[in-house]
Amino acid sequence: MSTFSIFLVLITIVCFLLIVVIMVQNPKGGGLSSSVGGSQMLGGVQKTTDFLDKSTWTLAIVLIALILLSSLSFTGSLSDSDSKIIDNTEAAAPVTPATPAAGQPAAPVAPATPAK
């Protein structure tokens, strides 16, 4: 299992936990926490709200950190150095000099017409 796959599993778990914590919060009389009667026995409504608020911020910070770390561990199988198209075009088109040879005169350039 690669490092990127491990980060992908962790990100999925944190996203699920973040969804659950946000759904449990009680915004102005609604939410799932109103149907859960045991939350008031844990130490009051204020402590439950503080815990849910802190856990939301913590999970959001952990999610951002995991996303940044996973981007560093991603090696990518489609990088430019492995492209067969770039290798074929570089091999097929030899580099030619842009200046004319010493014995040939330069081709005259027509003046540009102004755009209307």
Where exactly are the structural domains of the chain? 1-11+43-74
pLDDT values of the chain reduced to their tens digit, one per residue, 116 residues: 788 888 899 999 999 999 999 998 876 655 555 555 554 454 556 677 888 889 999 999 999 999 999 888 776 554 445 556 665 666 666 666 666 666 666 666 666 677 66
The 10 Å CB-count burial string (b at 16+, else e) for 64-78 is eebeeebeeeeeeee
Mean pLDDT, the chain, rounded, equals 73
pTM above 0.85, yes or no: no
Torsional sign, CA 21, 27, 30, 33: positive
pLDDT of residue 97: 60
